[in-house]
Amino acid sequence: MLDFLRKYRVYVFEILFAVAAIAVDLVSKAAAFDILEDVPGGSIAVAEGIFSLTMTRNYGASFGVFSGKTTLLSAITGIGIALVLVVLIVRPKAPKILRYSLIMIFAGGLGNLVDRIAFGYVRDFIDYTFLETFFGIDFAIGNIADIFVMIAMGMLIVYMIFGYKEGDLSKGGRLAPQAVTVAEERGEQVEADVVEEKSEEAADETVEKSGAREETQ
């Protein structure tokens, strides 16, 4: 068991990270709704004009898009989660920033999918009132799962702009620097062996030709 954990510790940690993220999302939703159900209006101003907790049953996607289309949204979310999981499985050596951003998207999507299946709606409660106060933006009320997805999208943008290199999405991802060095050394050694072999063959041919001339004379 210990050998298994040592060998696959990176993947074990990723699984634990995903489970923890999903748990935080679901527990925070349950706790927020349990508190807000007993509050008049279902809202508490944590910091007036800055941040509030507002109980909202979202029957659609963000900003009320596809309201009432629970089955459709559940299907789309399920397909998206499955695709992310496939990428994580078939690209085990992709850069960490890419893998963890996908894990956060997976966790956020699964957290909201559980809500849609269990309740027929998503439990939202995080009200970004400062956006309306200072910028006049009536932003959607969200939850922890949404925050995970937004952070992941930000990570992906940073990665695509500054960190992406050809081969990151190829099967297995890029070779580690040590592996690249070893491969280059092996390549140089092979080239040296080929050159040496050709030199020996040329020398043998020269000797044979010299011997043939001597016999003719």
User: Same domain, yes or no, for 110 and 192?
Assistant: no
- 178-216, pLDDT tens digit by residue? 444 444 455 555 455 544 555 666 555 654 555 545 555
User: Same domain, yes or no, for 157 and 205?
Assistant: no
Phi, psi of 109 (to 5 degrees): -65, -40
**In the annotation, is 124 catalytic?**
yes
CA angle 155, 157, 158 (to 5 degrees): 65
User: Same domain, yes or no, for 129 and 29?
Assistant: yes
- 127-173, pLDDT tens digit by residue? 999 999 999 988 889 999 999 999 999 999 999 998 776 555 555 54
Domain that holds residue 184: 175-217
User: Same domain, yes or no, for 181 and 158?
Assistant: no
User: Same domain, yes or no, for 79 and 144?
Assistant: yes
d(CA 57, CA 81): 22
Q: Name the pTM for this structure.
A: 0.72
Catalytic residue among 25, 115, 124, 127: 124
User: Same domain, yes or no, for 143 and 195?
Assistant: no
H helical segments located in 54-176: 70-90, 96-119, 129-135, 144-158
The total number of structural domains in the chain stands at: 2
Catalytic residue among 146, 168, 193, 204: 146
Query: Considering the chain, what percentage of its residues have pLDDT values greater than 70?
Result: 70
